[in-house]
Structure 1
């Protein structure tokens, strides 16, 4: 089989496979793994549970054959970690399943995933071929969206949409909840805030609950703007949390009493839409926020930069680099609040204890800070 029997679909923008063969239960996991490593895609034609078994078997082989780390520095350990993750994604992404134009998986004993696929993909006009690994991500994201993520600082749940980074690490939300509002933000009749890169809108709704009259939210990902609007509506704040475009700063708007930015924490190239919540290539968003901040603040206003020091601990960015960028933007640090992580990766290795000890040590020592910035 050389041509796809339906349209190719990949949310990560992966190109269609150049080589494709039909596969079913007669194909062993070892043979499937070898073909995948060679770049041959496998279009599954058995039943759905069989596809899941094969995917899990291929993952076990890929992880068993993971090369030992020879990193001599945190930066090198991080580079090898990302390379290995990319290799794993590439290999496991070769197992494909057919998806009908009605969003049904065209396999025997397949679950009904129509609602999940419609929420992630939108309507289809034709049949599609998708990676089983991606499909499982779509299903998992739908479960998160339905159930929501409890945010203690809000006393409520936030519902992340597919492709929007989930606020599972609540410590940074706690920082925004307890930081003292700047003088300009205490004039409640006119207090406006900007939340740059809003994601789920969790910080925007928190600021609205703290008394900001209007919070304008931006995000390069249109899905995030829709997600933020949905969460604001669920919490009765849709009239105060307002989408303001896909640029970094709202265009054509007055200055704000408070500008909040929680940029991706690691200066590296993202490999998927969801990765854009973690990786900021060349610290582009960070520098954009800093360089535009002074001209966007009202007198007595502040910019809040929420940032982990993980990049510093991995040798990807120094504290001097960060403070130099702050000074170069005509800003000074008025104060800083710190917190330690509570997420599981900070205190435990990954499953089966395979986490690189260098990366594990960096995560365990990580500190997340809210930098209060004002014009110099």
Structure 2
């Protein structure tokens, strides 16, 4: 199945205009002016030269753009993303050509047919970080074994909601024949379901990399007999009603045109109405619908309704069985972002059931 799916990968950059070079000792201010003018710069000598330029770019933006409120931080990140992605690196024979560059296995796995091409420095950084996570694995508090997220697949960097779900599963007394994990991602919630005795889990995802990565991870092991995957939005090909549906959707609404590129972080106006309509059809009469969410949008001053509360207020499809909340851990003292809202951020586990008609 995985070989039939075209995976997402950073698109090689085609430069139709002149490109400046940047090496150690070159004028940083001049380089930043070049980037702001919409031109590209290619690093030619040592990998660390690119890191120096990126650091200088951050220092420049720190002085130029306010970076305190949640909205200001988003604007800052957007400006940094735009300018930093004009800094380029050459790739040849699946290796970054500058000296002392990291060895990145994704360059061969994701670009087997390409001999020489160009990526932006942040793209290479992302590939490198992803390769480390993939090869070394990530420890998850609720799981015995590490997960190995495939490139471009969402995985959590905080596990408060995973712990909340694990605590709920410990007390779950329903049937354990089947479950559907909508938006399976790196498979963490699915692995938790198997940990607590579910016989079969159906996982869907609209991200091809999630399906390819999990398929490769399972191979022909026992997991491949307990997990069935489908590259599709929402419920995909899985039509049979189930006793448990799990959904860990994005926690923030789209607010600008750039947000729709990150479906793991931001949801559009159609996601929740479509999901609830389909979930109604796929849930057995006594089944439970579990949604992992957060109050992040409300406490960061987005003027938006809570999508689950909105669904319940309609009173048409589901009723609230229980809602569990857990205060998240304080932000790291090492972070440079002002995360004042973290003191009131809570992850939420909503348990819904079919509304009983009187």
Which band: TM-score by shorter chain?
Answer: 0.7 to 0.9
C-alpha contact 1:197 1:261 (8 A) present in aligned 2: yes
CA contact 1:147–1:159 (8 Å) conserved in 2? yes
TM-fit CA distance, 1:225: 1.3
CA distance in 2, matches of 1:141, 1:287: 33
- Matched residue, 1:246: 232
Whether the aligned pair in 2 keeps the contact of 1:20 and 1:43 (CA below 8 Å) is: no
Contact persistence 1:262–1:306 (CA under 8 A): yes
RMSD across aligned positions (CA): 2.7
Q: Which residue of structure 1 lines up, in the alignment, with residue 107 of structure 2?
A: 117
Q: TM-score, normalised by structure 1?
A: 0.83
Provide the rounded CA distance (Å) in 1 between the counterparts of 2:141 and 2:100.
Answer: 39
Structure 2 CA distance, aligned partners of 1:18 and 1:240? Answer: 50
Q: How far is the alpha carbon of 1:362 from its aligned partner?
A: 1.8
Q: 1:135-172 CA distances to partner (integer Å, 9 max, x unpaired)? A: 01100111011111111111221111111122221111
In 1: Cα distance, 2:13 partner to 2:71 partner: 24
Aligned equivalents of 1:68 and 1:151: distance in 2? Answer: 31
Following superposition, the deviation at residue 349 of structure 1 comes to 6.9
Aligned to 1:194: 180
Matches within 5 A, 1:4-15: 11=9
1:13 and 1:316 map into 2 onto residues whose CA distance is: 32
Structure 1 residue 236: Cα displacement: 4.5
User: Structure 1 residues 15 and 126, CA, compared in 2 at 3 Å: closer, same or farther?
Assistant: closer
* Alignment partners' CA distance in 2, 1:278 and 1:235: 31
Report the counterpart of residue 84 of structure 1 in structure 2: 76
Q: 1:231-281 deviations in whole A, cap 9, x for unaligned?
A: 555985221111023121132520011000000000015847983221112
Query: Does residue 370 of the first structure (1) align with residue 349 of the second (2)?
Result: yes
- What residue is the counterpart of 2:18 in the other structure? 20
Match of residue 200, structure 2, among 214, 220, 229: 214
Number of residue pairs matched by the alignment = 344
**Given the two structures, how large is their TM-score scaled by the length of structure 2?**
0.86
Q: Aligned to 1:338, what secondary structure does the other structure show?
A: strand
Contact 1:244 1:250 in 2 (8 A): yes
- Does residue 179 of the first structure (1) align with residue 140 of the second (2)? no
In structure 1, how many angstroms separate the alpha carbons of the residues matched to 2:327 and 2:222? 31
Q: Which runs of 5+ in 2 are unaligned?
A: 1-7
> Are the aligned partners of 1:201 and 1:232 in contact in 2 as well (CA < 8 Å)?
no
Partner of 2:136: 147
Unaligned runs of 5+ in 1: 1-9, 70-76
Q: Deviations over 1:63-103 (max 9, x none)?
A: 2322365xxxxxxx433322221101111111101111x21
Distance 2:35 2:121 in 1: 13
Match of 1:350 among 302, 320, 335: 335
2: CA distance, partners of 1:215 / 1:203: 10
**Aligned residues of 2:181 and 2:247 also touching (Cα < 8 A):** yes
1:199 is paired with a residue whose SS is coil
SS state at 2:18 partner: strand
Q: Distance in 2 between matches of 1:64 and 1:315?
A: 25
Of 273, 280, 296 in structure 1, the residue corresponding to residue 267 of structure 2 is 280
Structure 1 residue aligned with 2:29: 30
Aligned to 2:5: none
Q: Distance in 1 between the 2:289 and 2:248 partners?
A: 11
